[in-house]
Amino acid sequence: MPPVLNVITLATFAASLSVRALDPVLPHVAEDFDVSIATAASFAAVFAFTFAIVQPAIGAAADLFGKARLMTICLMLLGLANVLGALSTSFPILFITRVLAGIGSGGVFPVALSLTSDLVGPDKRQIAIGRTLAGSMTGNLLGATASGLIGDLLGWRGVLAVLGGLVIIVALAVAAGFRGAALSHAPRTSLTALRHGYRTIFTNPNARFCYSAVFIEGCCVLGLFPFIASFLFQLGETSLSIAGIVIAGFAIGGLFYTLTVSRLLPRLGVRGMMVVGATLVGLQLVFVAFGPGWKLQMLGLLVMGWGFYMIHGCLQVFASELSVEARATALSLHSFFFFMGQTVGPIAYGFGLQHAGKTPTLVAAATVMVVLGFVCARFLRQRAPADAYGTIEE
């Protein structure tokens, strides 16, 4: 594997620290601004929505001006947005800072996947992407856990201030690492080539299944997370640290996936990975629906994270193979649909919890996920992109 993958992994780590940072402390945010928990959960939705809507522009900009340069700028924006969020004096101001954080985070992860795919051939790509995911999962893990711990000590403002400062430091380190790797020169890409890339992507039969699947994943799985802390509050667990640990279980499962993917893939194959992964997710959603203790919920989310990345990792590889010359665009569209699902998810869960109740809502989401695994295994096929014989440069 190319050494520069370590720099890419560091970038995804820093970008992921803030993704779940507010989830464990949402009850305190709601209390401070005198809003409902459902309203506070809109932070997760606006972060995901902003992340999603910038993806078409991010992908095009990365293909035009250089992936490494764009990732560094967006990391710096993310760090500054978190610091500004810590200084917010009203709910609307905090809301705006989460929009800026979504833009910053949105410019890192999908571009990192594209750069990884550029550097590694298809035969080792899923393993390389697994390494990149390890950085993201570690960031999610530490972000959620540290958020709960810092929240108990310094409040939610302390969470954003500490994470913001850390992301800025990492942004400077990543900039130095990319400069040493000489990856910041502009590629020979044009707007005409980008238009051709979009046509290449959407004429591939895999595109509609891949993008639809990640939308459903984001809705059914990630849409649940803003409500985990409130579920625990209902069980009498009011410690923010406990909420952070439970949510971190999902990230631990993701890390477990990165450690096992090289062994699972030869044994299960891509189809088996998608079916088994989706089934594990569905079973754990049903498990959480019955409200076990926090330790068992943490274990359930660990298994859920492992299963989720079994199917999600396969979908990422399919997305990376939709186009060669517009790979950053293809993977940014992948993130667009994924985070649009995370935008709709909290809204859908909020509606379901209010009108149908916890158990029916989570069981419905579980059913959708299991069906999704079988549909993906049935219809997604390895297909060479139409521009497979083109050339690419960073």
Q: What is the pLDDT of residues 195-211, one digit of tens each?
A: 777 788 888 889 889 99
Most confident of 77-81, 92-96, 111-115: 77-81
Mean pLDDT along residues 183-187: 45
pLDDT value for 106: 79
Q: Are 79 and 165 in contact (CB under 8 A)?
A: yes
Most confident of 55-69, 114-128, 166-180: 166-180
Q: Is the pLDDT of residue 214 over 90?
A: yes
Q: Are 258 and 12 in contact (CB under 8 A)?
A: no
Residue 290 structure tokens? 């019955």
Q: Are 210 and 261 in contact (CB under 8 A)?
A: no
Distance (Å) of CA 353 to CA 220, 224, 347: 13, 11, 10
Q: Which of 335, 350, 354, 265 is nearest to 57 (CA)?
A: 335
Q: What is the pTM (predicted TM-score) of this model?
A: 0.70
Amino acid letter, residue 211: Y
Cα distance between residue 351 and residue 346, in whole Å? 8
Residue 211 structure tokens? 């993008």
Distance (Å) of CA 333 to CA 12, 239, 291: 18, 38, 35
Residue partners of 192: CB distance under 8 A and separation at least 6: none
Q: Are 362 and 268 in contact (CB under 8 A)?
A: no
Q: Which of 219, 237, 330, 245 is nearest to 291 (CA)?
A: 237
Q: Are 52 and 340 in contact (CB under 8 A)?
A: yes
Instruction: Name the burial class of residue 308, with classes exposed (0-12), middle (13-18) and buried (19+) by CB atoms within 10 angstroms of its CB.
Output: buried
* Confidence class for position 180, pLDDT limits 50, 70, 90: low
* Confidence class for position 281, pLDDT limits 50, 70, 90: very high
Give the pLDDT confidence of 250-266 residue by residue, as tens digits. Answer: 888 888 888 888 888 88
Residue 61 structure tokens? 């900009």
pLDDT value for 392: 37
Q: Which of 61, 140, 164 is nearest to 107 (CA)?
A: 61
Query: Under DSSP, is residue 205 helix (H, G, I), strand (E, B) or coil?
Result: coil
Q: Is the pLDDT of residue 184 over 60?
A: no
pLDDT value for 194: 64
Percent of the chain with pLDDT over 90: 21
Q: Is the pLDDT of residue 126 over 70?
A: no
Q: Are 111 and 70 in contact (CB under 8 A)?
A: yes
Most confident of 138-152, 265-279, 330-344: 265-279
Residues 276-304: b if buried by 16+ CB within 10 A, e if exposed: bbbbbbbbbbbbbbeeeebeebbbbbbbb
What are the backbone angles phi and psi of residue 2, rounded to the nearest 5°?
-60, 140
